Amino acid sequence: MTTLSSILVAIVGLEHLYILYLEMFLWTKPAGLKAFGLTPEAAEASKSLAANQGLYNGFLAAGLLWSIIYPNPAIGEHIAIFFLLCVIVAALYGGLTVKRSILMVQGLPALIALAVVLLT
């Protein structure tokens, strides 16, 4: 992967680490309530589901960051493509079923990163 590809993949990976942190540790805190537009009651009732979602976002982040440091750059590129596609599919599903902004916040950066990976 090129330097630009690696930087964009890293940005998407770091974004998903941040989402993991929000969902697993800040869900019922003011930052989590604000980020997800929840009431304290709704957040408390759904915190175990949010932690599960956070864990999945962590797996996406791990795969994306792994792709950057993989010793064989050609295989690392394939790993990046797979995990970027996973993020895009998740963003499409979330954007259609939960909140449209997911398409822009998660889907667009992953789509841009994927395009750069494929075109460079």
Question: Tell me, what's the pLDDT at 1?
Answer: 87
The Cα 95–Cα 90 span in angstroms is 8
The Cα 37–Cα 32 span in angstroms is 8
Q: How many domains does the chain have?
A: 1
Q: What is the pLDDT of residues 64-92, one digit of tens each?
A: 999 999 999 999 999 999 999 999 999 99
**Six-digit token string for 66:** 């792994």
Q: Model-level pTM? A: 0.93
Question: Tell me, what's the pLDDT at 35?
Answer: 93
Q: What's the mean pLDDT in 93-103?
A: 95
**Six-digit token string for 33:** 């309530």
Domain holding 98, by residue range, is 3-119
Whether the per-residue pLDDT at 105 is higher than 90: the answer is: yes
Question: Tell me, what's the pLDDT at 90?
Answer: 96
